[in-house]
DNA sequence: CGAACCTCTGAATCTCACG
DNA sequence: GCGTGAGATTCAGAGGTTC
């Protein structure tokens, strides 16, 4: 069998696959101890979703007074930044040891932890290849109106060191997944919800389950069929499920029995035939929305400019935030357009015009210009 | 230094103008020294675009532009990180000192430096409010096909500390600018090119000139007209030009004479928007408080009137003092609204309605009428 | 059966002026 | 400084129910 032959060869070379890796299994235990018990330089890629160390204070309510079910698990609590840094240093060192010289590591996080993880990766001589932005198409809003909607998470992709090349990057696969233009460092992917979201009774099985589409892109870009992917924070096993579907091997490490049970059932259900469905939401792109404020921000229309309707019966001035002021009303281009006409609704894009050299042009021409730039 | 001491005294006593700040000027010199000579707690917002030329494989530079020898040696790499960290620690400490307690700081960077900057911000007790992704609509492709197209940069927005609130976030203006949905943490903005790109002869005047649209959004979101914005790495003055256009003050710090010349000419050319155009959607929070009792006082609502929620599930009667009585509770419109629903809180203005000709109208319409009369 | 409407939920560091 | 209470605040998508 090929496996025996490879194993023999590997043994001769003193390399990994001879060493009885727990392939396609979940090992229960502390990830640092378990990694340290694995042979060194034995895995191709590591995907890690460590605790984010979010420091949530009180319970948060939506405007409709319902409670937000936040992450209050003990595993996300650290006493201080330095405790978190110490943890990060130790698990990254253990990860580095088991990673092949040609291997790469992925770590996902949010602003709560990702800067500390990134700095420590650099300190340990990992060589950052990209930082990747997972842009969530349906993030949770900011319910109190105090900040920007936190609509993304960050992944860092790094090689073992600057001079150790030979890592896998499936450039062409990525390009063809992206309508034949290079895959960019920002990925638009919905959060994990609906049927994909695993339940334990009525509650969600894990507070922070990642979408399979995200892991699909990670594994498609940076591994080959048959590669070994290690996930030291396995949770409910998204990495394992996608690895199986894509014909890769996984090694999962997880402490919590409840998560392991859910993950095992899930992976048993997964089959390589499901692979196609994973790429389902790739490629389809709707016409992006262009807010009027964008034209102001980009200097296409200056604050203070007067807009007119096509017959110059009505006028309004543009303010810095992209709202309009007319004689009796303020608001969006649509609201003010409706208001001056006494109409219930109005398409401000075609109603309002700017004057250039005595001629009136509908503001929609600027929007079309932006759309054109996007292609 | 006597000058600093006096200035600090002035700061303690009073307003920004009393502090003898170099408003709307470019100060030539090392940013750490210059910031340390400014009065403490004197600026509203800091925008910083620090250097990050630290990881080029062939010629590695220290922040002070001296070359690092023996680049390919791990020890030297570490030493360059540590030099960079030292620089970051010192300029951030200086920035922290000049920032008002209610101030916020913005720092922009790429994966080469942003993780180190972010970690140091947290170490110095800054409190991260958001990390923002500037998604470039027209990035430079990855020519060698070895990585994902590096199509974004990261900004960190942070308050001085977790418990010091009172920072400016123009939530409603951002929402207006974004077609009336919350502004997200990922911003799509083109890179600086074309006419906007400043030239010094035939070459570009600055290697990393930022687009004005980016600064426009930064300043619109986190400053008020008249605020003071400090930019310790002023370059060719994008921050200054946008600040001037938006009716804000700037203080620029820059070492290079060439950049200063370009920036001065550029800012002289920029012209500020007028008062009306500088207006923006400030939202309900900025409106004067109107007690519900006022509506009763003015006869807009008669004592004894019955109020309903929008589904007519709950009812309450208005008393002469502007309090409500429901089946089991008495108190303000908010207290009774919360009480009847068994909710932790309630905005009585939008919860309660009056009936006119069979139709329900929220009591907030009367308040808006009063606001309108105040203009 | 489809359209319309309602309900629920997601890695969240989520208030502030006044006494 | 701290307690109190007014009053401000949500988007996309999945899934279920009603008509």
pLDDT in tens, B23-57: 999 999 999 999 999 999 999 999 999 998 655 55
Rounded CA gap, B325 and B332, in Å?
9
**Residues 6 or more apart from A221 whose CB is under 8 A from it?**
A169, A170, A173, A174, A183, B148
Q: How many angstroms separate the CA of residue B111 from the nearest CA in chain A? A: 6
DSSP bridge pairs for A134: A153, A187
Note the pLDDT of residue B77: 53
CB B227 within 8 A of CB B44: yes
pLDDT of residue A375: 63
User: Which residues in window 54-73 of A are less than 7 A from strand C by Cβ?
Assistant: 54-60, 62, 64, 66, 68-71
pLDDT in the model for residue A111: 98
Please answer yes or no on whether A111 and B156 come within 8 Å at the CB atom: yes
B146 touches chain A (CB under 8 A): yes
> How far in angstroms lies nucleotide C9's C1' from the CA of residue A211?
15
Which structure tokens are listed for B302? 């008669």
By C-alpha distance, the chain A residue nearest B150 is: A185
Q: What is the mean pLDDT of chain A?
A: 92
Mean pLDDT of B119-136: 98
Q: Is A271 within 8 Å of chain B by CB? A: no
Asked if A63 CB < 7 A from strand D, the reply is yes
pLDDT in tens, A332-352: 999 999 999 999 889 999 999
Instruction: Answer yes or no: is B163 CB < 7 A from strand D.
Output: no
Is residue B168 predicted with pLDDT exceeding 50?
Answer: yes
Measured from the Cβ of residue A42, the count of other Cβ atoms closer than 10 Å reads 22
Kindly report the backbone phi and psi dihedral angles of residue B108, in degrees, each rounded to the nearest multiple of 5, phi listed first.
Answer: -110, 145
Distance CA A188, CA B188 (A): 13
Whether residues A318 and B77 touch (CB distance < 8 A) is answered with no
Is A320 or A287 the better-scoring residue by pLDDT? A320
- Per-residue pLDDT at A20: 85
Q: Residues of B from 292 to 351 whose C-beta is within 7 A of strand D: which are they?
A: 292, 331-335, 345-350
Q: What is the mean pLDDT of residues B82-95?
A: 95
Contacts of B146 in chain A (CB under 8 A): 169, 171
Confidence check: pLDDT of B58 > 90: no
Count the residues in chain A. Answer: 375
pLDDT of residue B53: 62
Please report the residues numbered 236 through 265 in chain B whose beta carbons come closer than 8 angstroms to any beta carbon of chain A: 245-246
Locate A124 and state its tokens: 């340990």
Which residue lies nearest C10, CA-to-C1' measured?
Answer: A140
Closest CA of chain A from B305, distance in Å:
26
Distances (CA, A) of A364 to A321, A361, A369: 18, 8, 9
Residues B203-245: tens digit of each pLDDT:
999 999 999 999 999 999 999 999 999 999 999 999 999 999 9
How far does the CA of A303 sit from the C1' of C5, in Å? Answer: 41
Nearest CA in chain B to A222: B147
How many Å lie between the alpha carbon of B326 and the closest alpha carbon of chain A? 20
Please provide the DSSP assignment of B308-335 as one string: E-TTSS-EEEE-TTS-EE-SS-EE-HHH
Cβ within 8 Å, pair A291-B186: no
3-class secondary structure, B14: coil
* Residues of A 32-51 whose CB lies less than 7 Å from any atom of strand C: 49-51
| B184/D18 CA-to-C1' distance in Å | 35
Place of tokens 């993950």: A263
Q: What is the DSSP string of A186-245?
A: EEEE--S-GGGS-EETTEES-TTPPPHHHHHHHHHHH--TT-EEEESS-TT-HHHHHHHH
| Number of helical H runs and strand E runs in chain B | 13, 16
3-state secondary structure of B211: coil
Q: Rounded mean pLDDT of chain B?
A: 90
Residue B120 predicted with pLDDT over 50: yes
CA B178 → C1' C1, Å?
38
| Chain B positions in Cβ-Cβ contact with residue A65 (cut-off 8 Å) | 341, 343-346
Of chain A residues 201-220, which have a beta carbon within 7 Å of strand C? 204, 207-209
Q: Please list every residue in chain A whose beta carbon sits closer than 8 Å to the beta carbon of residue B220.
A: 297, 320-321
pLDDT for position B277: 98
- Is the pTM higher than 0.75? yes
pLDDT of residue A97 exceeding 60: yes
The answer to whether the Cβ–Cβ distance between A125 and B212 falls below 8 Å is no
> What residue of B is the nearest CA neighbor of A66?
B343
CB contact under 8 A, A131 and B149: no
Q: Identify the closest residue of chain B to A218 by CA–CA distance.
A: B148
CB contact under 8 A, B182 and A141: yes
* The pLDDT value given to residue B148: 98
More confident residue, A8 or B250: B250
3-class secondary-structure state, position A140: coil
pLDDT digits 0-9 by tens, A11-44? 344 444 446 899 999 999 999 999 999 999 999 9
Nearest-angstrom CA–CA distance, A347 and A172:
43
A2 pLDDT higher than 80 = no
Q: Which residue of A has its CA nearest to B113?
A: A119
In this complex, the nucleotide whose C1' atom is nearest to the CA atom of residue A153 is: C11
User: For chain B, what percent of residues have pLDDT higher than 90?
Assistant: 81
A164-193 average pLDDT score: 93
User: How many other β-carbons are positioned within 10 Å of the β-carbon of residue B174?
Assistant: 26
């Amino acid at each position: 069998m090929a496996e025996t032959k490879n194993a023999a060869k590997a043994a001769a070379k003193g390399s990994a696959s001879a060493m009885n890796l727990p392939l396609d299994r979940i090992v229960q235990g502390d990830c640092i101890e378990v990694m340290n018990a694995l042979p060194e330089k034995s895995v191709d890629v590591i995907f890690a979703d460590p605790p984010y160390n979010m420091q949530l204070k009180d319970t948060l309510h939506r405007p409709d007074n319902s409670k937000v079910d936040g992450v209050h698990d003990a595993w996300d609590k650290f006493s201080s930044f330095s405790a978190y840094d110490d943890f990060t240093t130790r698990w990254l060192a253990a990860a580095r040891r088991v990673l092949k010289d040609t291997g790469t590591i992925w770590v996902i996080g949010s602003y709560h932890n990702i800067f500390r993880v990134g700095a420590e990766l650099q300190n340990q001589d990992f060589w950052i290849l990209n930082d990747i932005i997972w842009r969530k198409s349906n993030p949770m809003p900011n319910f109190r109106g105090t900040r920007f909607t936190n609509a993304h998470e960050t992944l860092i992709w790094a090689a073992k060191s600057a001079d150790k090349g030979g890592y896998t990057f499936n450039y062409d696969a990525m390009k063809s997944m992206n309508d034949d233009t290079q895959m960019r460092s920002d990925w638009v992917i919905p959060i994990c919800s609906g049927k994909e979201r695993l339940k334990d009774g009525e509650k969600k099985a894990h507070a922070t389950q990642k979408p399979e589409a995200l892991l699909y892109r990670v594994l498609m870009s940076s591994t080959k069929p048959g590669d070994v992917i290690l996930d030291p924070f396995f949770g409910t096993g998204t990495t394992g499920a996608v690895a199986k579907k894509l014909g890769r091997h996984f090694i999962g490490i997880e402490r919590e029995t409840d998560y392991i049970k859910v993950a095992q059932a899930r992976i048993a259900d997964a089959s390589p035939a499901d692979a196609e469905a994973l790429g389902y939401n790739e490629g389809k792109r709707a016409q992006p929305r262009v807010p009027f404020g964008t034209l102001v921000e980009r200097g296409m229309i200056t604050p203070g400019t007067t807009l007119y309707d096509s017959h110059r019966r009505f006028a309004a001035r543009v303010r810095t935030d992209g709202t309009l002021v007319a004689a009796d009303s303020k608001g969006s281009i649509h609201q003010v357009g409706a208001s001056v006409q006494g109409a219930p609704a109005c398409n401000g894009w075609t109603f309002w015009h700017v004057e250039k050299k005595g001629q009136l042009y509908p503001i929609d021409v600027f929007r079309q210009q932006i759309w054109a730039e996007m292609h």
